[in-house]
Structure 1
Amino acid sequence: MGKSTGFMEIIREEAEERSPRARIQDWDEYSSPFSDDTLKRQGARCMDCGIPFCHTGMEVRGVASGCPINNLIPEWNDLVYKGKWKEALERLLMTNNFPEFTGRACPAPCEGSCTLAINEPPVAIKNIERAIIDKGFENGWITPRIPESRTGKKVAIVGSGPAGLAAADQLNQVGHSVTVYERADRPGGLLVYGIPNMKLDKDVVARRITLLRQEGIEFVCNTEIGKDVTAEELREQYDSVILCTGAQKHRQLTLEGSDAKGVHEAMEYLTASTKKRFEEFDADESYIDVEGKDVIVIGGGDTGADCVATALRQQCRSVVQFGKHPKLPSDRNADNMWPEPPNVFTLEYAYKEAESVFGEDPRQYSIQTKKMVKDEEGHLKEVHTIHMKKEKQADGTYKFEEIPGTEKVWPAQYVFIAIGFEGPEQPVLKHFGVTTTERGRIDAQYEHYETNLEGVFAAGDARRGQSLIVWAINEGRGVAKRVDHYLMGASVLPA
């Protein structure tokens, strides 16, 4: 490494963010890139450790530890420190098809397993990654890579999220003719309609889609499998089919009054809001506007935070987010040891914004929603809750119990349910006839990806359940190698 003592001399710096009060007036990305000098310093903090856990990509107790796509992080950190940006880009693209997505919207398990993170703030890996790919586009280093020849084999991919796009990119580069089918009006899956613009600008997604088109990938949108085209037609027309339909079946919250007008799934709200941002979208009854309203978000994860940020930009009167778990500690607990991702309290972008408007963090912890109450016309008017205590049992499991006397009534005209996803939606899977697991996921073994149907493969959230963008890219690359081998008898694609 060029700066062997950098980690001892240089502190971690965070990317600059626009003022919370200013940025909630628009839908632009909230963070700003580092300067080149800052990036050089931050790259110098990389330790040249003997075993770089940052790129191991293993799972610890079911959670990603390190980068699932095995990014060569120490190598491009050192190249950034030395100012060799083009070489850093080459290293980055060896393992990551879409660094512009992960550099913005990934929770960065690489940083949690950074060796420096044992007792110091980790290397700013995510921000360096974003800077490398952005500089690649800015300098014209990212250009269409047209395959020199075609194999004559055709592959259909159902779903254009990160798994489908990664598989398409890999298979196209080895000469197969790839067609991606998407039921929405534009490609990108949850990259477009699941992640708000302030985290991932839609021009960034469109730029990549344009590049993939220029390289020869065909996208067919507004097309639902089983309605507009059948599984039989796909299997007849293509040499192989890959199912990357995602995991968009919402967990249900069945409570008294949950059928009230104003109660929506989080993704319904976020999708409608994003569609409104596209100039050609004519807002209709599907658009949800909470201006001047009291909003409650049920669910403590990233999707819930995105609902908070969206409501603030629509100028809600109030917003509160309920989570069933207690507030996280400021430091790792003894049972949350490195290199596991640190399960600690953080103040994400949406909560900073809410604090700037209302003077406090909108999150309420250890809350159980008991019922929702409608007015005479069926519209939501209030939500009833009670506080819970979480206690560890002798067998290591946890039990939640209500605390008498902590009942509370919250005014609300809108509730957005963000309690996660059960798995893939079933109609397409049943139409194809693929077998599923007990949890409703496509039954296809990791690293093999074959379904019970000849020539039909599956990858991404449809196979593994709701997960991270990096896991989707991992599986997209993995299934591409398996399909290439299936079609050609061997594969030159990386594992």
Structure 2
Amino acid sequence: MSSKMLQFTHIEQQSPDKRAAETRKQDFNEIYGGFQDDRATDQASRCEQCGIPFCSVHCPLGNHIPDWLMLTANGRLEEAYALSSSTNSMPEVCGRICPQDRLCEGSCVLEQSRHRSVTIGAVEKYITDTAWEKGWVQPIAPTEERSESVGIIGGGPAGLAAAEQLRMQGFQVHVYDRYDRMGGLLVYGIPGFKLEKDVIARRVDLLERSGVVFHPNTDIGKTVTFAELRSRHDSILIATGVYKARALTIPGAGLTGVHKALDYLITSNKVSLGDSIEAYTSGELNAAGKDVVVIGGGDTAMDCVRTAIRQGAKSVKCLYRRDRDNMPGSQREVANAEEEGVEFVWLAAPEALLNEGTDQAVSGVRCIRMHLGIADASGRQSPEPTPGSQFVLPADLVIEALGFEPEDLPAMFGEADLTVTRWGTLKTHPRTLMTSLDGVFAAGDIVRGASLVVWGIRDGRDAAASIGRYLNEKAVAQAAE
């Protein structure tokens, strides 16, 4: 074992420098800097090199975290990147946006023993950014080109991860996406202050130089039929994600000024990318000068409140029916939002959206205080209203960040034989990930429901391995005929 490890007893945990709130809320650039070489090696050397690496156990990708921390501590960065990228198709993304406090860092033995965890995410980002800078990240060069082709529907995390793995196997890969840029929610759902868009653009460019063919502005069922797509390719992977937003069902939900989180975020991200969007220019999806109320407590809600701050909102409040300890979003994101001026209204739920003017515009949110009652079967306490505790929050813009559900893919694709679960997600074989249609596979949120980017990457890689086995078995069978 390296003599540089186990330094947690005399090296304190340090994170990369974070820009001051007053500065960072003026733009959409990432708020965290990168480690300098000496700080990265110092922080990596804090790793305890546990016999059972719980950081890896609780990483959806099973990343070899202690191993690449040790390589980093010893200055062997090219090897560290090779090891990191062997299990992760986008380590530069995961290092930036994974909720490490809930996954690897939250499971770090040092965190449990009150020495504070190794800053795994920041080191992962440092390793990969260094690899890009040094030219170690090279296009895929398959050892053998295969004639079989795979069509991937969806250019998000699962689709891009699968494309990488399938090209490594030598298959011809085509990725179709309804939007004009590849990346899915990485580009249009996650704001630049968490993930700058050139990070995704260079990964997409790398895949293109590796031979992956991208088809933007392609809406399956409209631009091209699903049946036609199946006829073009030897196998299909559906990795569309889930885009149907859950909506409020309270009085006033149809007022103007009430918008879905994804519509708001997509507009903001497109403007940041240089696009001209009428809904933003007109002020419809622009928070400037407005009292903004975001309803929800997940990471999407955090993205919305922090975007509204940067757009120059008059006030920004996040309304959530549970308390801080029970919210699904990252505690780190909550802290960042508070620093930037967001006010959290805990244990409160919307009862109605108000309209006090002559037009149909929202003017406020009538709320009711909640308290946490008896725990349900999952162990989570259910929020219950407190009678007579109503109050009103002024609002010119209300954003619904209540989560996402699957779209009706069988209807969209015109494929009634595509079986779904009672939740609307695609039903797949638990081992092969094949759907009810032969040669058609599915991965990511469209199978597991709305989840983390890191799970999308894992699912895409698993699906690529399964598609590879399917096509190999098919080739063997055809050769034997």
Q: Which residue of structure 2 aligns with residue 333 of structure 1?
A: none
1:101 aligned partner, one-letter code: V
Task: Return the offset for 1:447.
Answer: 3.7
2:348 is the alignment partner of 1:381: no
Report how far residue 197 of structure 1 moved.
Answer: 0.8
**How far apart, in 1, do the equivalents of 2:25 and 2:306 lie?**
8
Check whether the contact 1:424–1:461 (CA below 8 A) recurs between aligned residues: no
Report how far residue 342 of structure 1 moved. Answer: 12
Aligned: 1:420 with 2:412: no
1:296 maps onto 2:290 in alignment: no
Asked if 1:310 is matched to 2:307, the reply is yes
Q: Indicate the SS of the match to 1:472.
A: helix
Paired with 2:376 and 2:141, the residues of 1 have a C-alpha distance of: 60
Answer yes or no: is 1:469 the counterpart of 2:453: yes
SS in 1 for 2:92: helix
Instruction: Decide whether aligned partners of structure 1 residues 399 and 18 sit closer, same or farther in structure 2, where only a CA change above 3 A counts.
Output: closer
How many Å apart are 1:490 and its aligned residue? 9.1
**Map of 1:353 onto structure 2:** 340
2:321 pairs with 321, 324, 335, which one?
A: 324
Mapped pair 1:101 → 2:93:
yes
CA distance in 2, matches of 1:410, 1:185: 37
Task: State the alpha-carbon separation in 2 of the partners of residues 273 and 171 from structure 1.
Answer: 33
CA distance in 2, matches of 1:424, 1:461: 11
SS of 1:489's equivalent? helix
Gap regions ≥5 residues in structure 1? 57-65, 331-340, 355-360
Q: Across the two proteins, how many residue pairs are aligned to each other?
A: 465
Distance apart, 1:327 and its partner CA: 2.6
Native 8 Å contact 2:158 2:460 kept in 1: yes
* 1:248–1:425 contact (8 Å) kept in structure 2: no
* Residue in structure 1 matched with residue 172 of structure 2 by the alignment: 177
Taking the TM superposition and a 5 Å limit, the aligned residue runs for 1:332-371 are 347-354=334-341, 362-371=343-352
- Partner of 1:285: helix, strand, or coil? helix
Name the counterpart of 1:434. Answer: 418
How many angstroms apart in 2 are the aligned matches of 1:488 and 1:423? 31
Matches within 5 A, 1:213-228: 213-228=208-223
Residue of 258, 279, 282 corresponding to 1:285: 279
Kindly provide the CA deviation profile for residues 90-140 of structure 1, in whole angstroms up to 9, marking residues without a partner as x: 110110111111111111211111122212211110000000000000111
CA distance in 2, matches of 1:218, 1:394: 48
2:384 pairs with 401, 409, 423, which one?
A: 401
Residue 391 and residue 344 in structure 1: after superposition, are their counterparts in 2 closer, same or farther (change >3 A)? farther
Conserved 8 A contact 1:305-1:351: no
How many angstroms does 1:15 deviate by? 1.7
- AA aligned opposite 2:41: K
Where structure 2 has 5 or more consecutive residues not aligned to the other structure, the ranges are 476-481
- Which of 461, 464, 469 matches 1:485? 469
Shift of 1:290: 1.3
**Cα distance in 1 for residues equivalent to 2:238 and 2:280:** 28
1:372 to 337, 353, 370: 353
TM-score, normalised on structure 1?
Answer: 0.90
- The answer to whether structure 1 residue 85 and structure 2 residue 77 are counterparts is yes
Q: What's the counterpart of residue 6 of structure 2?
A: 5
Partners of 1:376 and 1:88 in 2: CA distance: 63
Secondary structure at the counterpart of residue 324 of structure 2:
coil
Q: Which amino acid aligns with 2:454?
A: V
Within 1, Cα distance between the matches of 2:10 and 2:255?
57
The 1:432/1:69 distance shift into structure 2, 3 A limit, reads farther
User: How much identity, in percent, do the aligned residues show?
Assistant: 40
Q: How does 1:16-27 map to 2 (within 5 A)?
A: 16-27=17-28
CA shift, 1:174, in A, is 1.0
Taking only aligned residues, the RMSD between alpha carbons, in angstroms, comes to 2.1
Question: Aligned partners of 1:397 and 1:104: how far apart in 2?
Answer: 29
- 8 Å Cα contact 1:447/1:478 also seen in 2: no
